[in-house]
Amino acid sequence: MKIALGVEYNGTHYLGWQRQQNLPSIQAELEKALSVVANQNIEVFCAGRTDSGVHATGQVVHFETNVDRPEKAWEFGTNANLPDDIAVKWAKIVPDDFHARFSATARRYRYILYCNRLRSAILPTGVTHTHLDLDYNRMREAGQALLGERDFTSFRAAQCQSHSPWRNVHSLMVSRFGDYIIVEIQANAFLHHMVRNIVGSLMEVGCGRKPESWIAELLAKKDRTLAAPTAKPDGLYLVNVQYPRRFQLPQTPLGPLFLPDELPAFIIERLKLW
């Protein structure tokens, strides 16, 4: 039997998704909890291996077991054995050909910037604080140069293990919600640190240090050393993974927190004025 799970977590206190010897990871905690419910060792496979300090509201994983449990048992039983900063949102029995990583057709990330000259005590984690006065319209316009299937060498980490730097970015949106700027990027897949490197460079455009054309220039030069420093992991969330409809996986709000799935421009502007 193959089971898929929707998983949410605050990655602040973990060294990423992937299991590591004697180090805290999301995978290790989830496998430990599932193994208690199944009364046998469980190994899970995820849609996207998030880095140290990165969060998720829409991670998808799967595992195989010969233990017969109702879906509610996998949900409530696993949550009862997980730490407070990791939670199962749904469980579903899936066909044998389902794979959390290889069946996925797209992944969507949201990066949240808190733009204020002073830090927040209410959200000390889960957002990236910046004192910069960022123009989200400039960031959005500059980001359109990244749409489509392109070579993202300028935005990949030096330690990236992918065989190819080519990725297909489906959409890139930048919105403002009060003091918060949200950068949302969807692609077929992502390179190591790709979203954080893109956000770091968009911030340079947003604060006026670089022109809007700079992002296109970086893309063309295929040189990571020319781009901005990598943005912090604090504000990054994996919010959605898309699969073919035939798998009929549950759909949950993207989040995080108060953010709706869609942020219409007129609402954003009104909130900014308020």
The burial of 2, by beta-carbon neighbours within 10 Å (0-12 exposed, 13-18 middle, 19 or more buried), is given as middle
| 13/221 Cα distance (integer angstroms) | 36
Does 9 show up as a binding residue in the annotation?
no
SS (H, E, C) 161-207: CCCCCEEEEEEEEEEEECCEEEEEEEECCCCCCHHHHHHHHHHHHHC
Report how far residue 231's alpha carbon sits from residue 80's, in angstroms, rounded to the nearest whole number: 34
- Which one of the listed residues 51, 68, 151, 234 is annotated catalytic? 51
DSSP code at position 258? T
As a whole number of angstroms, the distance between CA 241 and CA 232 comes to 22
Determine whether 254 is exposed, middle or buried from the number of CB atoms within 10 Å of its CB (0-12, 13-18, 19+): middle
Whether residue 51 lies in the annotated active site = yes
Among all residues, which ones are annotated catalytic? 51
Q: List the binding residues.
A: 109
Q: List the binding residues for substrate.
A: 109
